[in-house]
Amino acid sequence: MALTSRTDVVAALSSGRPQDLIGTTEAEWIDFKTAPYDLKEPRGKAELAKDVAAFANRAGGLIVCGIKAAQRSGELYETAAQLTPFDPGRISADTYLKALASEARPLLTVHLALFPHPDTGDGTTGSYLVIDVEQLPEDQRYALVRRTIVDGKVKDGWCVPIRTGDQTDFMSADDVYSLINGGVRSRMYPAAPTAAAVLPPLDRAGARQALVEHQGWDGAPVLFWQSSPDVPPSFLPTLHSDGGIRGALEKQKVLRHMGFNFSFEHNRAVPFAGGLLLSEPRRALAVAADGTVTAAAIANPDMLCWAMAQNYGDAHRINVFALTELTYEYFRLVDQHVVPAISGRWRHRVAATGFEGLRLAPGANPVFPRTGSPREATAAEFNLDWLAGGSPEADAYQALARIYSGFGLSGDDNPYVQDKLLAPELLEAASR
């Protein structure tokens, strides 16, 4: 079937479904190569730089190596026609990056990812390489390459490649002159400075709803933790690697093995909507292809209201320890492993649905004599974000402060907080 987005392509390959790419038409956002570039030869380096710069000068895109494209009768463009996986030993990320650094200006941002061919029982083996090219910002355009290929021969000479449809064109000499002349004139007669554009916070409501539907929680009270970069890439290059996000999900270091966290007994991350998912009936955490992280826990006696019914006769009261530990473990995972993988500003968010009738009290879970009068949620829903603080302790406090505000309380009413930071030593002491 024909795929229509970069996310769909990555999702198909990461899920072991490369055959889904067959029939996909080459376009401004995707190009297919039968084999990886031969970077031992000048021609291969020039081809790589030309193709990458062409995408960077347009809107970014994917180059998928290991799939042969062909133009079928009656069609305008080539389409993916045959799977041709190759030996992954032919690929060195360092060699690709060094080739681009020497052949193109400015330095272009690409992400490389290898995806294995699934065991189909026919003896076919190998991998597919995806080169994800980021769009070059307007103030850095245009990328140039120092060599071209004319009549099959490599020629020296700077030029500007641009992706047009399923082909690479080159900027005309007149257009290049106009750009150079315009740059000189702008330096001689600078325009008045303008206010920098401010990106609005991204609210990934669709990712939250997808998690609710997957878990079968429609209509149930749910608390969400969510994080996303202000400028997300088309896909996170380390998402599916054992040394990257997948490894961090499956080998979490948690405060308590049997505690309230997102590390499960069989802790295998599975493909989900182009990204990865860890889930069990009471809680779930998903990392999308663009790095967005969405976690959720059901707010009932099975999870956020754990043991409150049998111990205190209050099935709608949130367990302070469970809430705090889940929040801290979420930010330990995200701030330490996902945020560093994508440069730029990040925003965190907490949101809730179906919270009417739930209660939360200041202080710790009640002991005899019971202290801390519980407060009911002031609304069924809330949705609050903040600029990431960079540490799990700082971001956990910010999250708790916003959750507590939904009950008319202060974040400082949480007993595991000190000086506007979550204090993990207090959590650990309370768990003994």
More confident residue, 186 or 412: 412
Quick one: average pLDDT of 113-126? 93
167 shares its domain with 209: no
- Mean residue pLDDT of the chain comes to 89
Given a cut of 60, whether residue 63 has pLDDT beyond it is yes
Q: Is residue 309 part of a domain?
A: yes
**Which residue, 149, 182, 215, sits at the end of a domain?**
182
Q: E strands of 20-109, at which residues?
A: 30-33, 61-65, 67-70, 79-83, 104-105
167 shares its domain with 215: no
Can you read off the two tokens belonging to residue 29?
């956002």
Q: Is residue 151 part of a domain?
A: yes
Q: Is residue 199 part of a domain?
A: no
| Cα–Cα dist 400/411, whole Å | 6
238 shares its domain with 149: no
Given a cut of 60, whether residue 281 has pLDDT beyond it is yes
**What is the total count of domains within the chain?**
2
251 shares its domain with 172: no
316 shares its domain with 241: yes
Q: Is residue 122 part of a domain?
A: yes
**Which pLDDT score, from 0 to 100, does residue 195 have?**
43
Q: Estimate to the nearest angstrom the gap between the alpha carbon of 94 and the chain centroid.
A: 23
Contact present, 279 and 194 (Cβ < 8 Å) = no
**Which residue, 182, 213, 234, sits at the end of a domain?**
182
286 shares its domain with 416: yes
Question: 91: burial class by Cβ within 10 Å (0-12, 13-18, 19+)?
Answer: middle
Lowest-confidence range among 65-79, 108-122, 215-229?
65-79
Q: Which is nearest to 260 in space by CA: 210, 309, 295, 208?
A: 295
Q: Which is nearest to 382 in space by CA: 361, 364, 409?
A: 409
270 shares its domain with 168: no
Q: Which is nearest to 36 in space by CA: 107, 108, 99?
A: 99
Give me the domain span that covers residue 211.
205-431
List the CATH number of the domain containing 54.
Answer: 3.30.950.30
237 shares its domain with 117: no
Q: Is residue 269 part of a domain?
A: yes
* SS3 label, residue 125: coil
More confident residue, 34 or 184: 34
| Cα–Cα dist 233/427, whole Å | 36
**Which pLDDT score, from 0 to 100, does residue 124 have?**
93
| Cα–Cα dist 270/268, whole Å | 6
Q: Is residue 189 part of a domain?
A: no
Q: Which residues on adjacent β-strands are paired with residue 147?
A: 156
